[in-house]
């Protein structure tokens, strides 16, 4: 079961490994190796069914030809779409991609970071859930090119491709206000250290403030990551019910929205008649629901494309020993108005 190596091809042909290596790496011409010999090498490699061992190659060249991607949750369509596109882009650039999912767990993210490091990935794209970015800072110091996506990490001097969460949330909230809503609820996740959620919360609050609405703490629900469904079931009815209940709801991501929509339906409420509803993070579901749900869409493909572009630049710079500036890229969102907010009443 021994696999064919360069040496096998060389021996068969009674030439040197160098020669074979050169030819197989298209450096034949450049080194003035005769067309004839080149053809012989190619033919023999084909015949023996030779293919290069990337681990040996990587060891020798000091790089693996691999990029690591860590997303917060690969089962979330938002990240899945981005991952798919990033794979395309890295492939185009000649890299392979190792896709990992931290499942929003600090500890798992750390483990993944270590394993990617041990595998000598040539670069890293991370949507980080880490509270203390030490692990990332260490990797950066070790010379690993890192690009952040989706979530910013303060004080960590690496380039990032982000989305204007503040503006998106502001617009969404303002839209509800313009429809006449005065009591607007916001459902978010509880470890609000994550930049995206914080920014969305701020956009929401500022939009209220700008409209002269005094914000009530009972309008905000912070849901623990690991029990979205249960918490929404338990807490949402109180937020909605009563004379002072909210008349419109804005959820911070597609996950929360799904649970909230289910609870609202089970309460027998009608959207948009009894309650206006909108969410950050446009997904298929929103377009197809009855009524279709207003949402703030993120440019997922662009995030993927730009992050790979940044990473490629970074790899080149680090390779040349150049200083790398950490230029953040902030992409804007698109408000998709749909019936779930169109006939709001208050």
Region 31-50 residues binding DNA, contact defined as CB under 7 A: 31-34, 37, 50
From the list 18, 25, 53, 346, which residue makes contact with a second copy (rule: CB under 8 A)?
A: 53
In this structure, the dihedral spanned by the alpha carbons of residues 130, 278, 263 and 285, taken in order and rounded to 10 degrees, is: -80
The interface partner of residue 94, options being DNA, a second copy, none and the CB cut-off 5 to 8 Å by kind, is none
Regarding 94 and contact with DNA (CB under 7 A), the answer is no
Nearest 5°: the CA angle 97, 60, 18 is 115
Only segment of 51-59, 90-98, 205-213, 237-245 that touches DNA (CB under 7 A): 51-59
Q: Enter the tokens of residue 25.
A: 């790496």
Q: How far apart are CA 276 and CA 250, in angstroms?
A: 9
Contact by Cβ (8 Å): 223, 190: yes
84 near a second copy (CB under 8 A): yes
Closest separation in Å from C-beta 55 to DNA: 8
The site map against a second copy for 99-138 (x = CB under 8 A) is xxx-x-------x--xx-xxxx-----------------x
Q: Could you say whether residue 188 binds a second copy (CB under 8 A)?
A: no
- CA distances, 108 to each of 131, 299, 326 (Å): 13, 27, 26
Regarding 39 and contact with a second copy (CB under 8 A), the answer is no
In the shown chain, the binding pattern of residues 143 to 172 toward a second copy, with x for contact by CB under 8 A and - for none, equals: x-----------------------------
Q: Please state the closest distance from residue 206 (CB atom) to a second copy, in A.
A: 31
16 binds DNA (CB under 7 A): yes
32 binds, among DNA, a second copy, none (CB under 5 to 8 A by kind): DNA
Which among a second copy, DNA, none contacts residue 31 (Cβ within 5 to 8 A by kind)? Answer: DNA
Tell me the C-alpha to C-alpha distance, in Å, between residue 81 and each of 37, 86, 106, 159: 46, 9, 22, 21
Question: Which lies closer to a second copy via its Cβ, residue 208 or residue 228?
Answer: 228
The region of 58-66, 123-131, 243-251, 333-341 touching a second copy under the rule CB under 8 A is 58-66
Q: How far is the CB of 245 from a second copy (least distance, A)?
A: 22
CA atoms within 13 A on the CB side of 301: 1
Contacting a second copy (CB under 8 A), which of 7, 39, 43, 56?
Answer: 56
Token reading at 237: 């009815």
Strands 220-223, 160-163: pairing is: unpaired
The residue among 83 and 149 lying less far from a second copy, judged by its C-beta, is 83
Q: How far is residue 133's CA from residue 149's CA, in Å, rounded to a whole number?
A: 14
Binding mask 262-301 for a second copy (x = CB under 8 A): x--x------------------xx-xxxx-----------
Q: Is the dihedral of CA 298, 301, 304, 305 positive or negative?
A: negative
CA-nearest of 137, 195, 165, 147 to 279 is 165
Q: Which does 323 bind (CB under 5 to 8 A by kind): a second copy, DNA, none?
A: none
Which residue ranges make up the site for a second copy (CB under 8 A)? 1, 3, 49, 51-56, 58-59, 64, 66, 73-75, 77, 80-81, 83-84, 87, 91, 96-101, 103, 111, 114-115, 117-120, 138, 142-143, 258, 261-262, 265, 284-285, 287-290, 321
Binding site for DNA (CB under 7 A): 2-3, 5-7, 14-19, 21-22, 24-25, 31-34, 37, 50, 52-53, 56-57, 59-62
């Amino acid at each position: 079961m021994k696999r064919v190596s360069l040496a096998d091809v060389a021996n068969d042909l009674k030439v040197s490994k160098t020669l074979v290596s050169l030819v197989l790496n298209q450096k034949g011409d450049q080194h003035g190796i005769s067309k004839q010999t080149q053809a012989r090498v190619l033919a023999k490699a084909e015949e023996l069914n030779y293919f290069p061992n990337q681990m040996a190659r990587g060891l020798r060249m000091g790089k693996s030809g691999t990029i690591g991607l860590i997303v917060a949750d690969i089962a979330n369509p938002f990240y899945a779409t981005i991952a798919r596109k990033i794979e395309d882009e890295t492939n185009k650039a000649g890299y392979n991609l190792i896709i990992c999912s931290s499942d929003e767990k600090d500890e798992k993210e750390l483990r993944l970071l270590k394993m990617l490091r041990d595998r000598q990935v040539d670069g890293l794209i991370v949507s980080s859930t880490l509270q203390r970015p030490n692990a990332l800072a260490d990797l950066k110091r070790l010379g690993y090119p890192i690009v952040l996506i989706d979530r910013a990490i303060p004080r960590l001097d690496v380039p990032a491709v982000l989305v204007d969460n503040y503006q998106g949330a502001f617009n969404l909230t303002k839209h509800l206000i313009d429809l006449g809503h005065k009591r607007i609820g916001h459902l978010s996740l509880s470890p609000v250290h994550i930049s995206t959620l914080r920014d969305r919360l701020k956009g929401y609050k500022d939009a209220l403030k700008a409209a002269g609405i005094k914000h009530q703490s009972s309008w905000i629900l912070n849901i623990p990551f690991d029990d979205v469904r249960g918490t929404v079931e338990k807490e949402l009815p109180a937020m909605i019910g009563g004379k002072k209940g909210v008349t419109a709801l804005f959820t911070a991501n597609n996950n929360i929205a799904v649970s909230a929509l289910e609870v609202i339906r089970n309460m027998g409420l009608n959207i948009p008649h009894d309650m206006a509803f909108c969410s950050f993070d446009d997904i298929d579901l929103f377009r197809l629901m009855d009524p279709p749900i207003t949402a703030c869409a993120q440019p997922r493909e662009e995030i993927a494309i730009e992050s790979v572009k940044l990473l490629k630049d970074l790899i080149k710079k680090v390779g040349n020993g150049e200083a790398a500036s950490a230029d953040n890229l902030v992409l804007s969102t698109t408000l998709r108005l749909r019936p779930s907010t169109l006939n709001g009443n208050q």
